[in-house]
Structures are given as C-alpha cells and as structure tokens.
Amino acid sequence: MTNPISFRFRRGAFSAFGAVFTFQLLATALAGPIALPGCPESCGGVRVPYPFGIGHGCFHEGFNLTCDGTQLLLGDFVEVLDISLPDGTVRIQSGVLQSSDSHGLNGSWSVPAATGPLKLSSARNSFVAFGCNMVAQLIPHSTLGPLTYASVCATVCPETRTISSCSGVGCCRTSISPDEGDLPSYGIQVKHQVGQTDYLSGIPTVVFIVDQDWFSRNEGEIMSNFNQFRLVVPSVPAVLEWSLDLIGDEALFRLFSTGPKSSDFRCLSLNSFSYYIYENYDKRRCNCYQGYEGNPYISDGCQDIDECQQPDLYPCHGTCINLPGTYRCSSKKSSLPGLITIIAMSAGFGLLFSLLGIAKIANKLKRRRVRKLRQKFFKINHGLLLQQLISSNKDVAERVKIFSLEELEQATNKFDQNRILGGGGHGTVYKGILADQRIVAIKKSKIVVQREIDQFINEVVILSQTNHRNVVKLFGCCLETEVPLLVYEFISNGTLSYHLHGQSENPLPWKDRLRIALETARAIAYLHCAASISVFHRDIKSANILLTDTLTAKVSDFGASRSISIDETGILTAIQGTHGYLDPEYYYTSRLTEKSDVYSFGVILAELLARVTPVFSSHSSEVTSLASRFVSLIRDSRLSDILDQQIIEEGGAEDAKVVARLAETCLRLKGEERPTMRQVETTLEAVQGSKANSRITRASQNAPNDQSYTGSKGGEGTRIYSLEKEFIQSSEIPR
C-alpha cells in the first residue's frame, strides 16, 4: 500500500498474541525439525518452517524470505510477524493509506511478490476506514467487466467527539466479501460526501486492511487515541493465506512413485496427509496425523507426541505407556487368579476363531453376490452383444476393449475425488492409469436413469465405429456397473472454450485458431460421410472440442449423437443440444440433419473470429445471440465491429474475411442453403493455404444440389443388417 506508516501503540499491544504463538512454535520445535537441513529455522524471533525459507535451496519456489538480522522480511521491506503451517497463513506488518485533505483518496493494496502463492485472506481480515462523511471502497483488481466491490463502508461526522467503537461514526469497519476475496491485490477509493458539516476536519483520512482478531483486541485503545486526536498510523498486521497446487501429471507421478521423494512442495512426512481447501479441488494443504506434531512438508517432520508427558491433555489413572501416534493407560488393579485368566483367554480365543470363520463365510457370500450383480449389469447393458460385435469386427477388436470393474478401480484408486478432471451434462470424468501405464480419462454417469444409460451405450456404439485423428479415441468400456463406464484417451490441454473464453494467459494465435477450425471440420465431415456408421453429433460446441499439448483438436462427447442409415437424410427426434449452438430449423421442426451440425460449427467459427461467447450481454444489458449478431454485421459489411483485435494485429484480416463469409453461410436459417461439412473443410483448407477465393459463394449457391460429397456415401456400397445395427437398436429398447 502506498505511504507505508503504522499505528503508534504501546509495545505490549502484541504481547498476548506473541505469548500464545511462542508457545505454539515451541511445541512445534520440540516435535521435530521445521526447516530443510542446514537452513535457518528462525529470524528475529519468528520461526521459518519449510516451504518458507531463507537463502538458496532452503525454500520452495514462491516462498522465499529474507532476514536483515532483526526482522524476517517478505519481499524487500514487509515484516513477517508469524507463519502458521496448520492454518496456512502468514501474518505481515501491512501499510496504510492516508490523506490530510477532503478531496478523496485513491490507492492500492497488494501482496509482496504477487505472482507467488500468497493471497489476502478474506475470512481473517477486515476493511477499516477513519474519517468524516466519506464512503470507502475496496475494489478487486481481478474484476473483469462491470465494476464490483469486495467491501464498502461509510462514515458520518459525530455529534460529539467521544466515540466508543468503530461502527460508522467517524470510523467504519466491514468484512471482505469471500466472492471477491482471496486475491493478491486490490484498489482503494475514498469519496467524501459534499454538503455535510465536518466536526473532525482536523482528523486525516486513514484506510487500511487489518487482521480482524487483532483489531477487535485493540479497538478500545484505538478509539481512545482517536478521541484524543492522537491517531498516528505507522502500520497494522494483516493475514495472508497460502496453499499448494496438486493438480497435474506431476502430482499423479508422486502419488504412484515408489522411488525417493524430492524436496518439492508436497506432504513429504510419512505421518502426514493432505486435505482440500474450501472444496477447491486443485488447492490443498498438509497436516500431521493425530498424535503427531511438526512440519508435514519435510521428511520426518511429523514426530510422535509423548502423551505421557502432557497429563493435563491426556489424563491417565494408571501406568501411561507412549505408543506411535497414541498412548495406552494400563490399570493398577491386581491381576485375576491364573485359572480364571486361562479360562477367559481360552474362551476369548474360541470366540475369536468363531467370529473369524463367520466373517470368512460372510465375505465369500458377499463376493458371490457382487459377482452375480456385475453379471446382471453386464447383460442388461448389452455386454454379450458388444462382445459379439468386437469378436466379429477385427478393426473394432484392435481398438476397443471391455474392461473389468477391478481394472478401472485400480486405475482410479477406487474413483478417488483427487482424480476428478471435471464434469459435463452426461457424467463425471476421472483421470486414470491403466496397468500398461497408459493415462486415460474415464467417464462415469452422475445420475442413474435410463436416458443416461442409453446415452452411454450410444456413445460406445458410435466411437467403436470411428477412427479419425481428430475424434477422441475410445479405448473401451466397463459394463459391470449399473451405469456403463467409458474409457477414452487422455487429452491434457483443456477445451477450446477454455482457451477462447477462460483464464488462459496465452490467447490462441490466429494461425492456431484456423488450424483448429480445419481439424474440427475434418472430424465432423468424417462423421457425416466417411465413418462406417454415419453420425450426426447434435452437440457441436467449443466445450466439446478438446486440445492436446500441441493444440490438436479432438471432437468429444457423443452422448447425444445419432447414427443413421445410408439412405436417410434426416430423422425426427426430440430436441437436444446447447443454447447458442442449436440449429433453429431443427428446433422448430424436430428434424435432425447433417446441416444441424453445420449450423453449430458456424457458431464455433464466429467464436474463433470474435472471441465472444455464443450468448452474451450487450451494452443494453440484453442477452444477445452471437450467431444473429455476427450474421447481421457480416451482411452490413461491418466485420471489424466484432472481429478480435488480435487477429488484425497478427495480419490475418484478409483470411478472417473469407472465414467470416463461410461462417455466415453455415448460419443461414434454411438448412438447404448451408454448405456440407466437406465443402466447409475444402474452403478452410484453401484459406490455410492462402488460396481462398469465391469458393464460399459457389458453395452456398450450389449447396442444395451439390453431390460432390454426399455421393461419397454411396461409394461405400450397400450396407447390410449387422451386429452394429442390432446393438444400436438394442440400446433404445426399454428394459
């Protein structure tokens, strides 16, 4: 914060807290080491536990501190008061914002080294302002779009000069909104109200973020200084939070690795565990198991507590015996006579063996019931028919495997929540490692309803018949559960939607957007006309286009897709799709055709050009369709009004015009006026090769009568009734 100064209070203001914290640190120190070998464990009376550290090789990246001999510092000048491993907090001496006039105040508050893991704790701090007739606002710097506030408080002038609490008269205090909290930096604005009497014109405006517990303990003394016009503001304590990120291949490697662990930022102590923070699946902390104390982030950091040395906390009315992680208290009463003891022990062993026998029999019966239940689900989910399909088709047999439930439980550590990659409309996706070390994505339905089961079976049928580099590969499925499980290739780089509209630091270059569009068009064209079963995807959208590490496009999520015979051009079906991508003609007629996918692909082209979501809020706060807005601007020759500025900066404006005209033809209301996906693919190939011409105009004029691509279906010959068709139909039969 600008103008760093701090409160002038008695030196004893921190004494109560300091005593408690010193006791906690002493207990931790006695339990075991807190820093890496050879590294300083304290500075200026403050303990420095790893992952924090002083000096090269003593800290994890982003957790480095410095020591000037008397003070522990974060960054160049911010004093660290204490560090808590169990709470995941760092208390610092924070500056304030102060002004002596009444013309308003503008400034900022930020965490030192804001690129690191430290963020302001919204739960442990308050926003406080001193002054007269003013409104103080705390503004998150990460706000995108309309201005929002993390905190707002206001003050009025007091009728008398004596103020007992910070409750809006001369001083206001408010919490920090958790929705906009936990950020590294904020803006601060103070606006004075006009036309009101100022009883405290001699008091400066002072605004700061402060540890709410510290402020509550010192509020009486602060208000006393305020009433006596002795409010001098050096600095105040504030609380930061930190956490570790365990999402990614590195975390999975560490989870399964049997080799020695490195000094990376993880729960390295054998007697430690990790836990989620506020249900945030990619942020975790470490702690010692019950009965252990110390630093869970270093080897042997969590040491056993000797409970026998702390009788107040662990009472024992006999002989106390310390055990790893616990203790035992033996009675001082005399032992039973030998005969009674022998009889009791014999009876106990007899009962134990009987119980073990019963448990063994019960376990066998349980395994038998589980095995029969899995066989029942396998038959209900058309497993026998799928086995025939695989055995009769060599190409399918080489690509698709029927997995057992044990294989997938082992691959996902029994579907551990740590393995969840995300969820969509048709299920939850887990990351797994098969026995052959292949990393896969495993989809499991959330809701056990017939419609979800039919969609899973439908996806198995369709993907088992497809083989294209831009369609996500299906490795197999498991039919031994009530809802089938699907096993795909693992795509590591997220969705096209995330890279266009998410928080990606590196926006997609125009050349990559054009290539992704071409690869997606090739995949859809293949599904329409070149696959062994013609498929209408029915849910083409940027969220269903996955990207590999090399930004290769992979079309996914075929739960809503429909397959048709060679002599059909469309089918009547229930409306299904995503708002903003749905073909209007399909919506009003319920007739699904290949041109429905063409319309959805046209929306994706508009997204790639404008980098705007399919449904967005306009300046008039009305919800606007990207498709209708885009077509209107193209027909008015106003592409520049919506074209992403990055495309112009990269010199792709001319190619963008061609792609924009192609998108406009795909988005026409009548399906017969739209091109086929093969024509779209050919046009995009020409654009990528800098050979774009008037192909789009010809394609749109000839689209209803064009036979250049639809005829390729007939070239495959007449397809006879097969196991594939039987399996598709069986998935639609009610059970």
State both tokens at 485. Answer: 């499980």
State both tokens at 592. Answer: 């699904």
State both tokens at 20. Answer: 């408690």
H or E, element range at 592? strand 591-593
Distant-in-sequence, close-in-space partners of 459: CB < 8 Å, separation ≥ 6? 426, 474, 486, 557, 558, 559, 561
CB contact at 8 A, 471 and 555: yes
Nearest to 440 by CA among 465, 410, 468: 410
H or E, element range at 556? none
- Distance (Å) of CA 393 to CA 192, 256, 396, 398: 79, 36, 5, 9
Q: What are phi and psi of 524, to 5 degrees?
A: -70, -40
C-alpha span between 189 and 246 (Å, rounded) = 37
CB contact at 8 A, 198 and 102: yes
State both tokens at 303. Answer: 């040491």
C-alpha span between 70 and 243 (Å, rounded) = 27
C-alpha span between 564 and 594 (Å, rounded) = 10
State both tokens at 99. Answer: 């002004």
CB contact at 8 A, 494 and 543: no
Distant-in-sequence, close-in-space partners of 577: CB < 8 Å, separation ≥ 6? 538, 539, 560, 583, 586, 596, 600
H helix and E strand count, the chain: 19, 37
CB contact at 8 A, 483 and 448: yes
What are the start-end ranges of the E strands in 485-549? 485-489, 534-536, 545-547
C-alpha span between 414 and 408 (Å, rounded) = 8
Distant-in-sequence, close-in-space partners of 345: CB < 8 Å, separation ≥ 6? none
C-alpha span between 291 and 276 (Å, rounded) = 21
- Distance (Å) of CA 410 to CA 273, 407, 475, 520: 21, 5, 16, 34
C-alpha span between 380 and 294 (Å, rounded) = 53
Q: What is the 3-state secondary structure (H, E, C) of 192-260?
A: ECCCCCCCCCCCCEEEEEEEHHHHHHHHHHHHHHHHCCCCCCCCEEEEEECCECCCCHHHHHHHHCCCC
CB contact at 8 A, 599 and 583: yes
Residues forming the active site:
539
- Distance (Å) of CA 535 to CA 285, 405, 678: 46, 29, 14
DSSP 40-75: --EETTEE--TTSEESTTSS-TT-EEEE-SS-EEET
DSSP 719: P
Look at strands 78-84 and 89-94 and give their pairing.
Answer: antiparallel
Nearest to 455 by CA among 492, 497, 483, 428: 483
